[in-house]
Amino acid sequence: MPGDAVVVDTNVGIVANGKTDVSPECQLACVRALRAVTQGRRLVLDTSDLIFYEYIRYMRLAGRPGTGDAFVRWVADSRFNSDLCTLVQITPTEDESFAEFPTADALATFDRSDRKFVSVSACVTPSPAIQVALDRGWLRHADALADVGIAVDFLCPADIAARE
């Protein structure tokens, strides 16, 4: 897998759409990150469409009016194209997690709704970075994720710091 692969958290699209109170630099970073994917950076998703369904819950599948909406339309059109996306299988568990989610004790409190992103990243070698805009939960677990080989690319570090 090329080193340019990435997993994109839903909040990147929400911020790119201008749906949150963030700095212009943060919104621009999210817009650029999504455009990089639609212009050739490989996206990693799950075969069960859990990530895709979360995207369409928060962004418009019609592809307008925002960059996040355009991204989700691109995902809808491109997710089965192996030249653009990598699909990996993740296995749900009874405790609302995934078998592929790292078992490190420091990740026991990691948000269950975000575990699909980590699990998808963990299925690929080397593990692609997960792009995140504002979610402080990712920040609290960044070191523990790094310890298990999962990198988090914080697109809006100043905005996250200002919310702490």
Contacts of 130 (CB under 8 A, 6+ apart): 6, 7, 8, 9, 117, 118, 121, 138, 150, 151, 152, 153
Domains of the chain by residue range: 6-163
Q: What is the pLDDT of residue 19?
A: 81
Rounded percentage of the chain residues whose pLDDT exceeds 90: 88
Phi, psi of 92 (to 5 degrees): -65, 145
Q: Is the pLDDT of residue 74 over 70?
A: yes
Residue 7 — very low, low, confident or very high, per pLDDT cuts 50/70/90?
very high
Q: Write the pLDDT tens digit of every residue in 127-155.
A: 999 999 988 889 999 999 999 999 999 99
Q: Is the pLDDT of residue 3 over 70?
A: no
* Of residues 26, 51, 43, the one with CA closest to residue 81: 43
Q: Using CA atoms, how far apart are residues 21 and 26, in angstroms rounded to an integer?
A: 10
User: Which token pair is 155?
Assistant: 């697109």
Q: Write the pLDDT tens digit of every residue in 75-97.
A: 999 999 999 999 999 999 999 99
User: Which token pair is 44?
Assistant: 């990693």
Contacts of 101 (CB under 8 A, 6+ apart): 107, 110, 115, 118, 119, 122
Q: Is the pLDDT of residue 2 over 80?
A: no
Least confident of 27-36, 48-57, 116-125, 128-137: 128-137
3.10.450, 1.10.20, 3.40.50, 1.10.3470: CATH of 6-163: 3.40.50
From residue 81, alpha-carbon distances to 25, 44, 150 in Å are: 32, 11, 25
Q: Using CA atoms, how far apart are residues 101 and 91, in angstroms rounded to an integer?
A: 9
